[in-house]
Amino acid sequence: MEETIASPETAHIPKQRGDSLLESAVRYAEERHWEVFPGTWLEAADGVLRCSCGLSACPLPGAHPARDDWATQATGSATVTRRMWARQPNASILLPTGRTFDAIDVPESAGFLALARMERMELTLGPVTVTPDRRMLFFVLPGASLKVPSLVRGLGWSPSSLDLTALGEGAYVAAPPTRYGSRGAVQWARRPTPANRWLPDAEELISPLSYACGRDR
């Protein structure tokens, strides 16, 4: 069983398996039926890691789409996935939201607080990632991006007052073991398993997430 920690002060990320980017991308397509597409990658130049896009000030080095038509490039085919990562084994793994899942994006400190509360409440949880820039993303059923603002208002918060965003159609998330520059890799706080194949609705998680973000302001 995977461990998650109640507070960000003592937060420990479970040790990740050493799968390659290709193996991980194929597994997401084959086992989870998530669509995947290859993004940019990191290149070493003069001892410094830089994004393959060529921008010296790239805000997400090695973890953003490499093509403007990325939305049409995404595939759920394991065969096509193998072919794409065989061409560029270092490409980041990006997952489009708004298709098989949406993602609720919150600060890491609020995310761990909410995660501990959700587990005490025995809520059904989907996969959760932690990013090197200290964000947590909770995977939920598609449609969350449309519902979350009104759900937050229903709890008495102004959506603009909370650092909480729902990513849906037209957006994407980076999946483990994608790296962000020199900051480290995306990791699972709650790994995809057969037990969490069925994702929760945003409505089930929005109260503890909003409460945690409100405390985190």
pLDDT (mean) for 95-119: 97
CB under 8 Å to 204, separation ≥6 — which residues? 123, 124
What pLDDT shows up at residue 47?
77
SS (H, E, C) 24-69: HHHHHHHHCCCCEEEECCEEEECCEEEECCCCCCCCCCCCCECCCC
Model pLDDT for residues 131-149, shown as the tens digit of each residue: 999 999 999 999 999 999 9
pLDDT of 60 higher than 50: yes
pLDDT of 2 higher than 80: no
Which amino acid appears at position 212 of this protein?
Answer: A
Model confidence band, residue 18 (pLDDT cutoffs 50, 70, 90): low
What distance in Å separates the CA atoms of residue 107 and residue 164, rounded to the nearest whole number? 8
How would you label 150-178 residue by residue, b for 16+ Cβ within 10 Å and e otherwise?
A: ebbeeeebeeeebebbbbbeebbbbbbbb
Judge whether 39 and 93 are in contact, CB under 8 Å.
yes
pLDDT (mean) for 196-209: 95
Provide the β-strand partners of residue 165: 105
Q: Where are the beta strands (DSSP E) in the chain?
A: 37-38, 42-45, 48-51, 93-96, 102-107, 128-130, 135-140, 165-167, 172-174, 187-190
Provide the β-strand partners of residue 135: 107
The conformation of residue 104, written as its DSSP 8-state character, comes to E
Please state the domain extents for the chain.
19-215
pLDDT of 16 higher than 50: no
Judge whether 102 and 143 are in contact, CB under 8 Å.
yes
Q: Is 40 left (phi over 0), alpha (psi -120 to 50) or beta?
A: beta
What pLDDT shows up at residue 19?
81
Token readout for 40 is: 């940019």
